[in-house]
Every structure is written in structure tokens, then in C-alpha cells.
Amino acid sequence: MHAFRSHKCNALTAKNVGESVRLSGWVHRVRDHGGVLFIDLRDHYGITQVLADSDSPVFHELEKVRSEWVIRIDGKVKARGEDLVNPNIPTGEIEIYIEDMEVLGAAEELPLQVFGEPDFPEETRLKYRFLDLRRESLHNRMMLRSNVVASIRKRMADQGFNEFQTPIITASSPEGARDFLVPSRIHPGKFYALPQAPQQFKQMMMVAGFDKYFQIAPCFRDEDPRADRSPTDFYQLDMEMSFVTQQDVFDTIEPVLLDLFEEFGGERTVNRTIPQISYKDAALWYGSDKPDLRNPIKMQVVSEHFKGSGFKIFASLLEQDGTEVRAIPAPTGGSRKFCDRMNKFAQGEGLPGMGYIFWREKTADSVAQELGIKVKEAQAMLKSGEVEGGMEAAGPLAKNIGPERTEAIRQQLGLQVGDAAFFLGGKPKSFEAVAGRARNIIGKELGLTDESKFEFCWVVDFPIFEKDDESGKIDFEHNPFSMPQGGMEALSGDPLKVLGYQYDLACNGYELVSGAIRNHKLEIMYKAFGIAGYGKEEVEKRFGGMVKAFKYGAPPHGGCAAGIDRIVMLLADEDNIREVIMFPMNQRAEDLMMEAPSEATNEQLRELGLRVIPQD
């Protein structure tokens, strides 16, 4: 028999009754039933119940065993009684009577429990991650991640892509985030960088003629942490193709991701019809370039209803250039309590508040207040038809702008009795993000967001340039390496109107994919960077490898990258990306388990020619 096991802990069934077997694993749980010890023995594959009574030669040794000890047992497979069968596990029909036992690894008192799903502080969980990973839910998420990556690799290979690895130690390159620098011992005073992405390498692969490349690539960015972003490193499905249009890239990556979400998404449905929404419309309708389309709410511009109105805040605001008022419809949100709660949310986001109107059935109270009469008189007038019943608009805004304007707003937004609308005004960039978050909250709180499905959308037509309001300087707003729509001719006009062949794929409010058709023509690249204030020499200094490559015959090419961590986070139905990463950092970019970052020794610093300057 094998030194440690004849079977795994998920393998034995009623067919094995009477066999002598050997299992090894962790003690998941111990139950003492007065002279009979029951142990749930766990390995990577599953759980088997083993037991011993006082007649077992190792009974007294088993009494010393505690949770998470690693043991090996020999014993005979027995059938459980009919009323003791556990249908929830593959081995639920049997149990093993222990005849011999060996402790392979004893465990000290545990800093966190593995059995069940206890709620421990994140700092404890990260410090003892090797224990945390034994918990069934987290263990299953890591297996989900492994299976997702394996499925991606197969799907990409089936589409004719070849997997190549790009360097981990390379040159520093501005990709939009801070680099992690690596000092060179051989070249004192010089530094390598960990790649923020394989961007330049994959483009040079296209120049080299490889046509279809992909990689499950590690990327390193010194970023501030968020719930959906790791502060140090992450993995992405990186791909690039030659001789393709934007639509070719969409047609390639869509089936990979849609099939993946159908394979691993459980009961949730996948909408395979993916709309393409311009960046401009996404900002207007959803307040975000990664909209959650499970929420049907679309924001609209309602400026005309407030121009010259009695609501002086918006009326005077609209006299300024570049301002507008937008409405967030809230079907079924027509209660003062809900409206006040959303107004408080806006104040918490740093805004003065959020105006609102809600529509309700006309009441005797409101008629009495409007006409200056008693409620009983109002009731009689409503009953007789002397005062028309039906719908009325309520809230401070409704009083200020009057019934005609509120009715026009209601009709534009398609709202009814019991509905509400919220309003934000100013220059769109000053309130779009808050409006987008408000839309998300309204959708969830009112039960409008359908959480039983995955909804994808492409966001396209990103502007390449933006203008700083204070300095007036033109700079890149998005990826500087995107091919401008219209090429060189587009760059000769107003730079703020230039759109790029750049695209993101969003799912349920998260950006999953980002990519572009690349600018492979040097003269267009020089011109684009020149508009943003970068001279030819600076471009060649910063991106020398790519510039050099493009001088020797570069094909039209494009691609994208999909975030593995976020994909798995969505599939696992988790809100925090650390729940799907094997060994994540904490919010302060610290590895509590390995105690990193750590101080370098004086010897290491001398060898690298470095000196640490104490911080004040």
C-alpha cells in the first residue's frame, strides 16, 4: 500500500465497503460521542468520516488529536446506517473504522478557525493566509480561478493564438501608473522596472510577424488599493492581433468571455447581445465609462426645464458656459423618506445636496394647503369633482418651477405616480461620478437592478485629448497609443474632438477589458504626442524600442487585456478582489504573511550603491 494513501478523501463509496484503505489529510472536526470518536478527515478533494471506539488499538492516541492536525489512518470501509447517510458529500454512504493511525503533522492552537465560515479580521486572515486558504469557500474560489485560467488558455489556443512570455525585468515606461523600480547591481545608479503591462513587447511581436499572441501576464503597478484593484500586482489575459479592425477584436474576445461566464457563472444568465455605447453617451446616461446595465435607469439632460425657472440655483447656473442639469429617474422611488435619504447621500459625497421631485396621487391635505381651505372642504371638493384629482408633483423643486415644468419633466422621463426624479447641475465632469454612484444606489435600493444576470457592454469612441481648465494645456485623456479615428487628417483639426479606436468592455459595473487599435504609423504618433506637448526627441527617448520597430515595417494591429482577478471576482460573486487572490496584499500594500516590504540590510544597500534617506 502507498505510504500515505490508497484513496483520496472524496473517493470512497458503498462499492468499497469491506475494503482496507489508507487515507491522509487534515482533521477537519472531532466529535466525541461517549466512547466513540468521529473525525471528519479532509484533503484537497473532499471529506471522509472516520471513527474509532474503545476497542480500537489507537483509540487513546486519537483522543489527543485536535483540529487541523495532519494524520494518516488505516482502516476498514463500513456502510453507514440508512438514517445516517449524508447525501451532501460523495462519501456520505460510508465511514471508516480506524485500525491504525500516525500523526504526520501536529498543529498548535489555531489563530483562526478553519471549520465553517467564521468572521475573522482581515489582518488576521492575511497574516495566516495558509490557514485561511483551508476554509472551504476560499479554497473553492482558488480552484475556480485555476479552472477559469485553464479554460481561457484552451479557448485562446482554439482560436489560433500562441502563448508567449514577455520580460518581467524591463525599462521604466509611463503607462499611467507608478512603476516599481528595481536597482541594478551590475550598473550602479541605474534601474530596471517591473512591467505595468506587456504593451510595448506585444506590439513589437506584431512587428516581428507573430500575428496572434496571448499571455496570462503578471502586471505590476504601484497604485493606491481599491476593493476591485490590487495595489501591487495583478494578472491579465493579454492579447494582440495583426491586420485587424476594432470589430475583429470584439468578435474574437466576446465568445471567449461569454462562454467563460456561462461555464462558471452558476445560475446567473449571460446576455450574449453586447451593445456598443460611445464614451460620451455612457457618461451622460450612466455617469460612468463602466456602466452596470443590469440597472435600467438612464439619466437625461433636462436643462431646458430649469432655464429661467423659479429655482434660482439651477437657473443662474445654466447662464454659465458648459453647464447643464441632468435628471436621474427613480421608478417607484416616490416617497419623501427615500428622496431625503438620497439627498443625504449627495451631501455625503461633498455636494450641497440633490434636488428631487416625486409624483403622488393628489390628496386632500395638499389641496387644502394649495387653496388655503380646511381638509374636510378639500375632501368634499375632490369627491364632487370641483377640484380635479389625479397626479401631483411634490417636493421643493416642484414648488419652485411650477406645474407646467414639472409635468414636462415627468413626460420626458416617462414617470408615473409613485415615481421620483433626482437632479444635479453644473459642469458635467464635476458631478457625473456622483450621479453615476447615485444611479447605482437607486437601482439597488428600489430593486430595479437584476442581480441574476451578467450584462456586458462595449464603451467606444474615447476622446484622445483633454484640456486642463486652469492651464489650458492639452494632454492625453486616454491611451496615447490608440490610432486616432481619421488618422493624420483628424489631428489637423480641434484636438478635443479627436476620438480614438479605443474600447473598454464593462460587466455589471466593472471594467473587465481595455484595448485599442494601435497607432502603428510614426508620423501620426509624432503628431499626436506633439499636440500633447511632447517633442520628437522625447518620444524617441521614452519609447525608443517601439519607435525603432515601427521604422522597419509595422502591420496594422490591435488587441486588449482582460483582468483575470476581476473576472474571477465577478464569477465568485465577491465584492473584494482579495477574496480571489491566493496571497494578496492588505490595503496598505503590505504582505503580512511574508512581512513585506522589509528593510534592506546595509550590505545589500552597499552592493547596490544605494542609501536610504530617513523620512521626516
pLDDT tens digits, one per residue of 157-202: 999 999 999 999 998 876 567 899 999 999 999 999 999 999 999 9
Which residue shows C-alpha cell 534617506? 613
Helix (H, G, I), strand (E, B) or coil at 61: helix
Residue 313: pLDDT band (50, 70, 90) is very high
Q: What is the mean pLDDT of residues 104-118?
A: 92
H helix intervals, 446-514: 487-491
Sign of CA dihedral 14, 15, 21, 22: negative
Residue 400 has pLDDT above 70, yes or no: yes
CB 560 within 8 A of CB 506: no
CA gap 512, 509 in Å, rounded = 9
Residue 131 confidence (pLDDT) = 96
Nine cell digits for residue 450: 437584476
pLDDT exceeds 80 at position 387: no
Percent of the chain's residues with pLDDT above 90: 80
In the sheet that holds 324-330, the strands lie side by side as 300-301, 324-330, 420-426, 355-361, 391-394
Supply the pLDDT for residue 360: 84
Same domain, 258 and 343: no
Asked whether residue 325 falls in the same domain as residue 434, the answer is yes
Q: Is the pLDDT of residue 518 over 90?
A: yes
pLDDT at 472: 81
Give a yes or no: residue 244 inside a domain. Answer: yes
Are 221 and 305 in a shared domain? no
| Same domain membership, residue 341 and residue 314 | yes
Instruction: Tell whether 240 and 332 lie within a shared domain.
Output: no
449, 480, 504 — which closes off a domain? 449
Res 378: pLDDT: 61
pLDDT for the residue numbered 228: 76
Residue 185 corresponds to which cell in the numbers above? 547591481
Give the whole-angstrom CA distance, residue 87 versus residue 275: 44
Average pLDDT over every residue of 189-216 = 95
pLDDT at position 172, please? 83
> Residue 170 domain-assigned?
yes
pLDDT the model gives residue 6: 97
Do 243 and 339 belong to one domain? Answer: no
DSSP, collapsed to helix, strand or coil, labels residue 465 as: strand
For 431-441, the pLDDT digits (tens) are 999 999 999 99
pLDDT of residue 119: 86
Does any domain span residue 7? Answer: no
- Of 56, 76, 105, the residue that ends a domain is 105
Say what the pLDDT of residue 86 is. Answer: 94
Using pLDDT thresholds of 50, 70 and 90, give the confidence band for residue 49.
very high
Same-domain pairing of 48 and 95: yes
Domain annotation covers residue 371: yes
Mode of pairing for the β-strands spanning 453-454 and 269-270:
parallel
pLDDT of 108 > 90? The answer is yes
Q: CA quadruple 417, 420, 425, 431: dihedral positive or negative?
A: negative
- CB under 8 Å to 243, separation ≥6 — which residues? 211, 555, 556, 557
Residue 1 pLDDT exceeds 70: yes
Do 290 and 509 touch, CB atoms closer than 8 A? yes
| Last-in-domain residue among 105, 140, 173 | 105
Q: Please indicate, yes or no, if residue 284 is contained in any of the structural domains.
A: no
pLDDT score recorded for residue 316: 94
Choice among 75-84, 311-320, 356-365, 551-560 with the minimum mean pLDDT:
356-365
Mean pLDDT along residues 268-295: 97
pLDDT one-digit tens code per residue, 331-384: 999 998 999 999 999 999 988 889 999 998 776 666 566 666 666 766 666 566
Is residue 506, in this structure, part of any structural domain at all? no
At 126 the pLDDT is 96
Q: Identify the CATH number of the domain in which residue 164 sits.
A: 3.30.930.10
Q: Are residues 316 and 438 in the same domain?
A: yes
Helix (H) or strand (E) holding 95: strand 94-105
Residue 223 pLDDT? 82
In this prediction, residue 118 has a pLDDT band, given cuts at 50, 70 and 90, of: confident
The pLDDT of residue 544: 86
- CATH number where 23 lies: 2.40.50.140
Q: What is the C-alpha separation between 213 and 161, in angstroms, rounded?
A: 5
Q: Are 564 and 239 in contact (CB under 8 A)?
A: no
CATH code for position 382 = 3.30.1360.30
Q: Which domain holds residue 354?
A: 295-449
pLDDT for 384: 64
What pairs with residue 47 in β-bridges? 42
Domain membership of residue 537 (yes or no) is no
177 to each of 125, 228, 541, how far by Cα in Å? 29, 16, 19
Are residues 435 and 309 part of one domain? yes
Is there a single domain that holds both residue 299 and residue 439? Answer: yes
Q: Which of 36-50, 241-255, 539-553 has the lowest mean pLDDT?
A: 539-553
Rounded to the nearest angstrom, the gap between the alpha carbon of residue 68 and the centroid of all alpha carbons in its chain is 33
Say what the pLDDT of residue 390 is: 62
Question: Mean per-residue pLDDT for 136-160?
Answer: 97
Structurally, how many domains does the chain consist of? 3
Residue 209 sits in the same domain as residue 325: no
Lowest mean pLDDT among 169-178, 281-290, 331-340, 535-544: 169-178
337 assigned to some structural domain: yes
- Are 129 and 101 part of one and the same domain? no
pLDDT digits (tens, 9 = 90+) for 464-477: 999 887 788 999 98
pLDDT band at 393 (very low <50, low <70, confident <90, very high): confident
Q: Judge whether 179 and 156 are in contact, CB under 8 Å.
A: no
Number of Cβ within a 10 Å radius of residue 553: 9
- Has this prediction a pTM greater than 0.85? yes
